[in-house]
Homo-oligomer: A and B are copies of this chain.
Amino acid sequence: MMLGTVAGTVASTIRTPSLAGQTLVRVVVAAGHAEHTVVACNPLSAGPGDRVVIAHGAAARHALKLPGAAIDATVIAIVDPDKS
Contacts and interface: CB of A to CB of B under 8 A. Distances in A.
A34 B34 contact: yes
Interface string A53-69: 10111111111000011
Place the interface of chain A in its size category.
Answer: 35 or more
Given A31-B36, A59-B61, A62-B68, A11 B80 contact: yes
A32 B16 CA distance: 27
Contacts of A40: 1
B30 A33 contact: no
A38 to B, nearest CB: 7
B44 A16 contact: yes
A70 B79 contact: no
